[in-house]
Structures are given as C-alpha cells and as structure tokens.
Structure 1
C-alpha cells in the first residue's frame, strides 16, 4: 500500500508542476497503469479533464485545444500501444507549433523485454519528433521532491513549440486508500505549494530582430505571403501590406480578408507572372502553404531576397531561397518594421483576381456540389464563430474559390496535412473557445476519425459538421494515376451514408440537395443550437473537374 500512496504523491507533484507552466486542460484515456496520473489530475482543482476512449483521437483533441487556446495541453495515457497512438498528433504539433505534454505511464524496467503484459520499449519510441524527452525513474522516496520538480521545470522551459514526452513508470500496487504516508516528501518544497510559480524559473531570452536596412527595403517592389498565422496577426499583416502598396497573397489559413482572392486560379496566368517577375523582395509570414499555384510561384520566384518570419524554428522554406529566416512573433515584428505608405506597384493583379472571381461565379452559380459549397462557405459561417477545414480536396477548393472574411478564425491541420484526427482536432478547437463552429471535411476523413463524433456530443456552442461525401478520396482525381487502378487503389469508394453515424452518436442530421436547403439546415443550427451532421452527397468527380477547368481557363486569360 505504501507504494500505491507514494505513486500518487509523485503524480500529484507532477500535475501541480504542469499547472505552473500554464497547463489547464488534461486529456485522459482509460487505463490501469496510468491510475496515479489520472487520479491526481481528477483531484486537482485547477485542471479541466477531458476523456476519450481512443488515444489517437485523444492526442488530436489535445492538439485542437492547444491550437485554439495557445496554451500547453497535457495528455495522459496508459502503457503499451496506447502510447504509440499519440504519434500522429505529436508529429503534427512539431510541425505547427502547438505545445503538448505527453504523460505516458509505463511498466518499471524489470518488466520490459521479459514478456510482461502490455509492456513495450517506450523510452525513445518517438525518435526525434518530441522537442524534449524526460524518462523519469520509478517513483521512490529516495529521490527528492526537489529533483522531480526541477527536472520537470527544466524540460518544460526548453519547450518553445511542439511536444514534450515524459515517460512515467509506476510499479504496482496502483490502488489503495490514502493512508497519509509520505506527506513529508511533498512538504520538502515548503511554501512553494502556496504559490503559482515554477520551482525553477527560466527567464525568457529576448530576441531583437529589427532589420537595420528595412528603411531601404520598404521602398522597393515587395510581395507579401500570409501563411499559417492567427486571425489577429492576419489583420495586422493586411493593414501593413495595404500601407506598403505591396500585393498580398493569402493562404486559406490566414484571415486577411484575401484582397487578391482566387490566387490559386490566376497566379499561373501570363499577366500575373509578368507583373510578379518584377518583385525585389518577398516577405512570408507563417508556413504551411496550401494552394498548388502559390507553392509553384513561391518555388520559382527569384527576388533579390526572400524573408520568412515565423515563431517556429527551422527553414520553413522548401524552395530554399536566398534571404533571411527570422524567428519572431509576427505582431512584434510588424511593429518594429513600420510601413512607408506608397502607391500599389502591382495594380494589374487586382484585375487578375477579379477575372478569376467572375469565372468562379459563372461556373458555380446555380449549381450544387462541393465546389459550390466551397465557394459559398463565407455565407454559411456562424456569426462570431470559427471555421475548421479538413484536408485533401476540400481545403484546396476553399483556398481556390472562397473569399473568407477578414479576422475570422480559421483552423486546420496543415503541418503533415494528414486526415487522421480531423474531427478530434475540431472538437478540441471548439472546447477551447466555446464558439459556434463550422467543420468542413471529406467523407474519407470523417470515416477515418468517426468515433470522434462521441466528442462532438459535448460541444458547448452550435456546431455544424459538414461532410462532403463524394464517395472516396477524390483528391487523387487531380493526379495522373492510372485510370484502371484509380478507384480500387486510390479513391477507394466506400458507398456509405452518414445518417447512420449521426444516429449512432445521437446527433441531428440533414442531407440537403440544393444550396438553399444547405443554407437553411446550417442557419437552423446557428439559431437553435446543438450539433448537426450535414452530409452533402455530391458527384464523385465534379469538384476536382471544376478546379481543373477553372485553373485552365483563368491561367490562359
């Protein structure tokens, strides 16, 4: 019993330490070996506990919470393959910057590699994907509380982005009444328990990223690219670009108001190419670009210099341009580099964008399908809400066709761009903000994470899950895959109806057959609340064909 009590003391200190590093949310999957951590989290008065029976979805739930809150989020899972299921969310966090703390329960060393149940080699199992790892010893009173709290503080202080993996072995017994033993072990920390600060503080390192030659660069012909940045940062970038008179190319993840919308259609046109060839400086804010034509232009452009500003470390530029990689907060960097008002040097791009918007309207007005839904998505958004976009074809259609409102929050998993855990991530985003949420994704993505509909039942504000059912992964329709093998090995049509999924999880359901019916179904949810799954049964290839046709038409104009 003494072992069980001390396990709990150890876990209590661990969870308290996390709260000193702004952890408010803890995502917990069921398991026996993780009992000390689970009970310590449940007993902590300042922690909000979320549960899910699927560790892969649990990791993405935490990812969404971290994405929308901007805070660290902890995850507690038991030993064995439960840990391995966190891999996809850990990888995504490393690429997009969300801070996750993985608390993985483990068997003690003597039970590893000897055939013990649910025992695998967990040390180092995530390779280089965590930004920091901490392999804790088996809890014992011989190790001081000061060592544990300072080891945790040291690890978390080095977490500038991505996930930290803390492996926590616990010996049995894991259960038992609290006998009051080992309270003196916790009391080694004295009045620290009455405060709110870490035991070991690491003051932040201040970086000064002012470019001394900005005065001369801002008078040249520049282009600004807005990538994966927040809604607030997006609005600041848009104002800054307008003052400079520089064209702003906006990714779907940025909320700039997209003054030059439909860029994925017009960027390849001869007129646009001729204008943009005069660019002397490109400044990109945030990574993770979506549009194919934007990525092609970004890769091919040859300005005098290319600057990339992002809080994440690393190059973040697959085209390897010559220039400057500036790791900085976008808002602070803009304030340190004021714009000098000057006329727009690339006015011709406005007409390029307008022609593309006119072409989209001509093609899609009066039609019903995923292309039309992507084009009309701004009209479907909830007031004062947020948008979560899936991957594959649908995010490309929204990027190419829609003009999203300025300052409207947009979330996505565009780090590794996988379809695993999209519904779970959206659930986390909704829980962190408590805002009305529109989730838009494809049928294969929804099937991949179908049990996350259990998480959606707990949404605190009106939520619409719009599943575009084009019967398979139609993103592959855009690729030169062999026709004979395309359906079987790439698109993989499943011929399912999501009405059964909605019924299984007790969600409202609608299957509109027109844009007006879709608008009505969405509006009803915003007005009356609840969670509604809306299935759009659409032509299998029409969305991909629309994108291909419009790119061809606009690029030739």
Structure 2
C-alpha cells in the first residue's frame, strides 16, 4: 500500500483510521495532495470526490447526520477552506460531528504574497468546538544552520534536532487526538489545520511514524441529587406542565418515557415535524393549534413549568407565545448547551433525556387535570377545520403540500428545505414511520440539497427532498456529484421566487419587492436534470400531481425530480386565509 512520504500526513491519516472515521470527502487541490494520496490508497476509507467545497461539506454533514459519527472533509489551502463555513456553522448549531482537514502553506510562506494563501489559523473560531493548528514536520535533510539559525552555536545539533522533531510529532499527535475526540464526545465540528511543504506528491511503501491513539473520556450519565429532588418537587406541585421538543433524532427517546408523559393530564407535549416523536396524546402541528388563539386563551395555555429537549424550534408562534407568557420555570435537558430561547431558562440539566426521564418519571405523580383534556378539544376542532379548508381551496402551495405529504412512502426518509418548505410541513401530521430531517441549526437555504444527497448515500432507505425553487437553484452544484443513488427523489415547489416574503409583512406586488425580496424568476430545473442525469417531470395542477406521484417513487435507473409550479399570486392568500379559517 502506498503512503504519503510526509510524516504529518501519515499521522493524520492513521489517527483518523484508529478512531473509525471512515467517510472522507475530498475536494481537489495540490497542497492537500499528501492527505488525498493517503486516504485514497487505504482501503479502510470510503472516499468521495466533490469539487465544490461548500457542497462537499454539506454532503459530509448529511452523512454524519445519519450515521451520528464524524465524517471528514479534505481541502487545499486558501479560499477553498472558507467555502466550508456554512456547513461548519450548521454542524455547530445542529450538533453534527464534522472533521475539517485543511492543508496549509508553511508559516514562512504566509503573509508574503504567495498565491492561494490566507490566514487559516482559527478561521472558524466563532463556530467550532476546537481548532488544532499543527506544526510543520522537520525534514531529516534540512540544512540546520541555514534554516534554523538557533542551532548555529550548539554542539549537539543532531541530538537537539531529533528532540525538536519528536516534540513536534508529540504536539501534533496530541492536537489531532484532542480534536477528533471532541468531535465524538461533544458531537460537533472541529478543524485541523495542516501545514505541508513541497514536495507534496512523494510516496513511500512503509510508514515512518506510528502515532498513539488516545481514547476520548466518556461523560458520566448523572444528575446531582439536589437538582433531581428539586425538579421532582416542583413538577409535582405544578398543575400545568408543557414539554416542547425541538429537532430530535428518530428513535432517540425510549417509548416508555413518552407513554408516561402521555398519560398525565397535567402535561401537554408539543412536537414539531423535526422532533420525530409520535403519540396520539401529543400535540403536533403547533402553529395549527395556537395561531388562532386570543390573549385569554394563551393565558390558559401558559405553563408553570416548561421542559424542553432537542435542537432548535421552528415555530415562531410558539416562541412568541412563550416569550410573552413566560413559564415560571424553564428546564432544558442537554449534555452540551442550553439556549435561553424564551428568556426564562432556570435549570440546565446536563445529561441525556433518556437518563433524566429514567430517574425522574418514576418519582413524579400523575395528576388529574383539565389542562390537556381542554386542549385536546381544541386540537380536534383545529383538525376538523384544517380538513374542511383543504377540501375547498384551489391548487396552491398549501394544496400541493397536502398531496405530497400524503403520498410520501412509509418507512422512508424525508429531508426538508428551509424557509417556506419546513413551515408548510409543520401544518400536517406526518406518518410516524417517516424519519424527518432539516438543517435547522442556521436555517439557511444554502445546503439542503447537498445534505439530502449525503443522507441518501449513507442510507439504503429511499430519501425524498422537498425544496423551494430558490433553495434548490442556490445549491444546484449539489447535483455535480457522482454518488447520487437511483432511489433519491427531489420535489421542488416552484412559485417563481421567494414565496415566504409574500407571507411576511411588506409591500407586495411592487417592482422593488419583486426584484429585491421575492426575486422573481422564470427558471426551471429541466436543463439541470438533463445535464446531471435526473429523470424530470413537471406538473401545475391537482390531477397531474396525483398522477405523477403514483409512479414517482417506483424503482428507476436514475434519480428523479418532480417540479411543481404553483400560482405565486395566490399562495400567500390561501395560507393567510387558512389561519383565519381554523
């Protein structure tokens, strides 16, 4: 097996293997050649070549999101690294393990006008769990006195040089171990910046270094007795408790804890599409339930205790409600962080939800209360009005989502684009066998397609992406990818612009609005599908959409894309009237 000659490259590659980082996404470049040579010549690694670094990083994020283990991205020096930033930020806020391996120029070639060179040290400092800035290897053939003047007057030059080399090797091993261990233990992005000097392409048959892999320390699953006792007493004394779940991995919470929460009439459990939690007694489709409420209703819904876990919340309406009608206490369960989303955080419980519930729910009382029964009545009323309204409306975004979401095959994966897409999906109760994902860390439109493709590559299950037209076009380089499986499906809702801006307050139907907010266009995905080998179909009415979906998910020799054209001047009216009607 061939290896890069440079010991530092060997060290990085061996430690990635030792820690089980198998998926390596490589963007082409010369300075990163030692890493590319090492990873691609080692059969342990599954390597992918993706030219666009922004797409490559989101593709890696999609794989890591599914496997819940770190994937690595490899790039050359210069602005290539900066293109990783959107995905790094998403991984940071969504707790997705991502290892960035960037090649760099040696220190003496930075800031002297060399091409493809920027200040890469700590470049992600505001959105990274750890930055490891490695040191350049010392070559055995280095002219010591010329390159390192400090040696000029030393007697034992060789001995000192060997000691310095070993010190650099020890430093690099420690930093690489620390970075990768943090990616595992804290589940987030880390950056390893790796300086290489030329020659970059030399290879050897045998390894010259044998780095030591240091195991990560496992956090103990524990809660202080005083905190647990306080939570139990306060919970038992409260008559209105609300559990609100953000982004959550499928099958992450044990069903026995959900069943206990569901039996308590003093507890309301609000879930979102991205929560991946289901129970007949829970309250999905939050906006559908609370959007029509008046101030007196909100006061009746206001909880004494709010318990949250999972990632970020999509619903603006629940955030506005809980910020105005604050709970007396807000507890958040998470190992790594607790956002004070509702400006009332009183307890950060630093453990996992499963462990907390195992200690907590066996000690709390189930209360008789009219809190949940009253809101069950509201939920039933809203669902009836929801169904009645959908039967009466013309073809539009809302109608299209109803048909699409009713036809997603069970036991498959659904990836949602941001902006309008995820918010429309929030209005519907999805089948409990679906696994739903969305890049809600930064809520950007910039990498949804790339993430969904990475997800599809990491799974044998069929994956469907639903995306808006702007989001899809923005990330169209995602299709420049040789690994897209034939079972991958894309559905684009094309309303000829940023339809969400027509729902938000603003002066619609003006030239300024059309150009700078909605950004009207007449683009379609048809020619992109021809270029990248997708089977393409378009529809613009209910009957054609239903007919197309009958065969859309059948087996094929190509991935498929369905583009749905909806009336942009009607969509906002339909949605705004929806909230009035329910």
The more displaced of 351-360 and 86-95 is 351-360
Q: 2:326, 2:342 within 8 Å by CA — same for their partners in 1?
A: no
Partner of 1:152: 176
Root-mean-square deviation (Å): 2.3
In the other structure, the counterpart of 1:486 is 513
For the Cα contact (< 8 Å) 1:275–1:348, is it kept in 2? Answer: no
Q: 1:194 corresponds to which residue?
A: none
C-alpha change, 1:327 and 1:275, in structure 2 (3 Å) is same
Within the candidate set 442, 445, 460, 1:416 is matched to: 442
Decide which of 262, 284, 294 is 1:261's aligned counterpart: 284
Please tell me whether the aligned partners of residues 287 and 310 of structure 1 are also in contact (alpha carbons under 8 angstroms): no
User: Relative to structure 1, is the Cα distance of residues 377 and 480 closer, same or farther in structure 2, using a 3 angstrom cutoff?
Assistant: same
1:304 to 321, 328, 340: 328
Residue in structure 2 matched with residue 500 of structure 1 by the alignment: 527
Superposed displacement of residue 177, structure 1: 4.5
Q: Which residue of 2 aligns with 1:242?
A: 262
Is the CA contact (8 Å cut-off) linking 2:76 and 2:103 kept in structure 1? yes
| Match for residue 306 of structure 2 among 282, 285, 289 | 282
Deviation (angstroms), 1:507? 0.3
2:229 aligns with: 212
**Does structure 1 retain, via aligned residues, the 8 Å contact 2:4–2:37?**
no
Partner of 1:111: 109
**Off by >6 Å, runs of 4+ in structure 1:** none
Contact 1:262 1:353 in 2 (8 A): no
1:203 and 2:214 are equivalent in the alignment: no
- Contact 2:417 / 2:448 at 8 angstroms: preserved in 1? yes
Partner of 1:543: 571
Deviations 1:165-208 (A, max 9, x none): 1111111111234375xx4x325x5xxxxxxxx62234313141
1:138 corresponds to which residue? 136
State the partner residue of 1:373: 400
Which of 428, 432, 448 aligns to 1:406? It is: 432
For residue 265 of structure 1, give the secondary structure of its aligned residue in structure 2: helix
Structure 1 residues 234 and 490, CA, compared in 2 at 3 Å: closer, same or farther? Answer: farther
Residue 528 to residue 515, structure 1, CA distance change in 2 (3 Å): farther
Partner of 1:195: none
Matched, 1:229 2:248: yes
2:354 to 331, 349, 356: 331
1:59-98 residue pairs with structure 2 within 5 A?
59-98=57-96
Check 1:56–1:68 CA distance in 2 against 1; reply closer, same or farther (3 A cut): same
Structure-2 residue corresponding to 1:13: 11
- Specify the SS of the correspondent of 1:154: helix
Using the size of structure 1 for normalisation, the TM-score is: 0.90
Whichever of the two has the greater Rg, that structure is 2
Shift of 1:407: 4.9
Name structure 1 gaps, 5 residues minimum.
190-197
Q: Cα distance 1:294–1:109, how it changes in 2: closer, same or farther (>3 A)?
A: same
Counterpart-to-counterpart distance in 1, 2:49 and 2:569? 38
The whole-number CA distance in structure 2 between the counterparts of 1:266 and 1:384 is 27
Is 1:450 the equivalent of 2:502?
Answer: no
Pick aligned residue for 2:494 from 466, 469, 490: 469
The count of residues paired between Structure 1 and Structure 2 equals 534
> Which secondary structure state, in structure 2, belongs to the residue aligned with residue 433 of structure 1?
coil
Deviates more, 1:413-422 or 1:146-155: 146-155
Quick check: 1:255–1:404 contact (8 Å CA) kept in 2?
no
Q: Is the 8 A contact 1:369 1:536 kept in 2?
A: no
Query: Pick from 167, 175, 181: which aligns with 2:193?
Result: 167
Deviation at 1:539, TM superposition (A): 1.0
